[in-house]
Amino acid sequence: METTLRGVGVSHGVAIGEVRHMGTAVLEPPAKQIAAEEAEREQGRAQQAVEAVAADLIARGNLAGGEAQHVLEAQAMMAQDPELMADVERRIAVGSTAERGVYDAFASYRALLANAGEYLAGRVADLDDVRNRIVARLLGVPMPGVPDSDEPYVLIARDLAPADTALLDPALVLGFVTEEGGPTSHSAILARALGVPAVVALPGAGELAEGTVVAVDGSTGEIFVEPSAEKRAEMESAAAARKAALSASSGPGATSDGHKVPLLANVGGPGDVPAAVEAGAEGVGLFRTEFLFLDDSKQAPSEEKQVAAYRAVLEAFPEGRVVVRVLDAGADKPLDFLTPADEPNPALGVRGLRSLLDHPDVLRTQLTALSKAAQGLPVHLEVMAPMVADRADAKAFADACREAGLQAKFGAMVEIPSAALRARSILREVEFLSLGTNDLAQYTFAADRQVGAVSRLQDPWQPALLDLVALSAEAAAAEGKSCGVCGEAASDPLLACVLMGLGVTSLSMGAASIPYVRATLAKYTLAQCERAASAARAADSAEEARVAAQMVLSGE
């Protein structure tokens, strides 16, 4: 009998197939005591396992490339964290085996994150995966992971670690469903990059029996269990129609009445550029520069290394617009040379622009490198600061850009409610705004962006979030300046129409989403988008806002 479940759709497309479950987690190793003379040998075993796992993660990242490579390299750094390793060695010195020492040390760190209010909860799934890999190697058992299958299937898991998501074979894994996670988790971002339909935050997904046929709609978040022949035909027909529309859609983004909507790509480095170019991106709306700095958390990359990486991206978009976000460190992206180690609440502490203003040499080097990278190129370079709170922040960043001799537009990200509320004041110091809807939702609703239990508050359709977008766009229009969206909200085709109706002037997203958004925008006029935006803001919940906008656009 057909039943319907609903999670959070995070990657467009339809998948219909049999359920296969992720391998079970590594068993807890026994609390066995060792003799004192065995401690040195066990410490050596632990160190070897850590190095082997880190090397494996880096190798997986090299194979995957793009966004996945950056995530896996950060995970490898987590495996080699000196404080964690020192804790492992201390536990072994007082009698633990290597595997037990690793298990307990990671458990202690995990508890520390939870006690801190889970502001680093976005890394908990990654932390568990690193632990499991190290313990499995020490125990000599197979690493749990994606199941072996000769036939395509829908993957079900509690959560997916980046190492598993990055190397999924889309020919075999038709789509995936997880019990945990959120729309901005690593797995969701990588699923979009792979073009694999995905639904997250679906409680009870693990109870679906092996071999059960399910139909997954990665756009709506609906899961149809044992779908009828009619439902399967309906979904397959809709998927075919969508594919045909995508194929027919090309060129610059625009509404049906010719209102231009530049569609830009979010990239993490040169490895993401080919997919963006292939998708027809009109430029880059968010160039995350953290990938360079995460290679070595002990020191900032040299100016020469930065120039080479930046130029590789700028050269790919001649005459195009490339918006670079300067280093956004802190919270879930700590760097030893930049980030305070003892902050009780990192997400609300010294992160983003605050870190850079505390370390002006790091900011100056990055801005100088960007200036040199753009020399002689026809690209339209724009540089923006993360986590701008007020006009003073915006002025400090603009002053730093001018002092570095940067010939570019200077902008500010709107990720803190205060920036949206005082956007016009901020725009007296900078030339554009870019809305980071992921963090803006997190700070608006006090809901960690990686915690599945509060995913409903991370839904970018929340009317309160739309109100803040509207405030920012209205302020930009009043000042004659631009206001784009570079958060994951822009990757939702229906929401993209609403954002345009709110006055947003450009949209930036993962490359895989660009064709979907382009095709959808081309179906509606600007006036229709504006009416849909008004209907969404008048709603009282995210779901009501989504339905209201859909009704307006469908003419109901």
- What one-character-per-residue DSSP string does 111-167 give? HHHHHTTSTTGGGHHHHHHHHHHHHHHHHT-PPP-SPP-SS-EEEEES---HHHHHT
Report the Cα 455 to chain-centroid distance in Å. 14
Give pLDDT tens digits for 114-147.
554 443 445 666 778 888 889 988 988 766 677 7
Distance of CA 504 to the CA centre of its chain: 21
Calculate what percentage of the chain has a pLDDT beyond 90.
55
Per residue in 489-505, pLDDT tens? Answer: 898 899 999 999 999 99
| Position with higher pLDDT, 322 vs 149 | 322
CB 213 within 8 A of CB 154: no
Find the catalytic residue in 12, 70, 359, 486.
486
Q: Look up 486 and say whether it is catalytic.
A: yes
- Which pLDDT score, from 0 to 100, does residue 330 have? 66
Higher pLDDT, 507 or 172: 507
3-state secondary structure of 6: strand
346 pLDDT more than 80: no
Could you tell me what percent of the chain has a pLDDT over 70? 89
How far CA 356 is from CA of 365, 420, 439, in Å, comes to 11, 22, 18
The amino acid at 258: G
pLDDT (tens digit, 9 = 90+) per residue, 389-447?
A: 999 999 999 999 999 999 999 999 999 999 999 999 999 999 999 999 989 999 999 98
CA atoms within 13 A on the CB side of 406: 28
How far is Cα 445 from Cα 454, in angstroms, rounded to an integer?
A: 9
Q: What pairs with residue 413 in β-bridges? A: 434
Largest CA distance in the chain: 79
Report residue 290 as tokens.
């953290």
Catalytic residue selected from 186, 359, 497, 529: 186
How far is the CA of 524 from the CAs of 243, 466, 473, 509, in angstroms? 18, 20, 20, 20
Amino acid at 52: A
Tokens representing 25 are: 């987690």
Considering just the CA atoms, what is the radius of gyration of the chain in Å? 24
CB neighbour burial string for 223-240, b if at least 16 within 10 angstroms, e if fewer:
bbbebeeeebeebeeebe
* SS3 per-residue string spanning 163-230: HHHHCCCCCCEEEEEECCCCCCCHHHHHHHHHCCCEEECCCCHHHCCCCCEEEEECCCCEEEECCCHH
Mean pLDDT of the region 72-86: 84
pLDDT for the residue numbered 116: 44
Residue 529 known to be catalytic: no
Which among 166, 203, 150, 156 has a CA at the least distance from the CA of 72?
166
**Range 339-344 average pLDDT:** 68
Q: Who wins on pLDDT, 124 or 508?
A: 508
Render pLDDT for 93-121 as a digit per residue (tens, 0 to 9). Answer: 999 999 999 999 988 877 665 554 443 44
Specify the pLDDT at position 487: 82
> Looking at residues 4-16, what average pLDDT do you find?
89
Tell me the three state secondary structure of residue 432. Answer: strand
pLDDT at position 411: 98
Most confident by average pLDDT, 25-39, 351-365, 451-465: 351-365
Distance, CA of 420 to chain centre: 22
CA distance linking residue 406 with residue 156, whole number of Å:
49
pLDDT for 246: 72
Q: In this structure, what DSSP letter does residue 349 have?
A: S
Region of poorest pLDDT, from 25-34, 197-206, 417-426, 518-527: 25-34
3-state secondary structure of 23: coil
Higher pLDDT, 415 or 56: 415
Q: What is the DSSP letter of 422?
A: T
Tokens encoding 269: 């480095």
**In this predicted model, what pLDDT tens digit does every residue of 259-317 receive, in sequence order?**
999 999 999 888 889 989 988 999 999 999 988 887 665 788 899 999 999 999 999 99
User: What is the predicted pLDDT for the residue at 159?
Assistant: 81
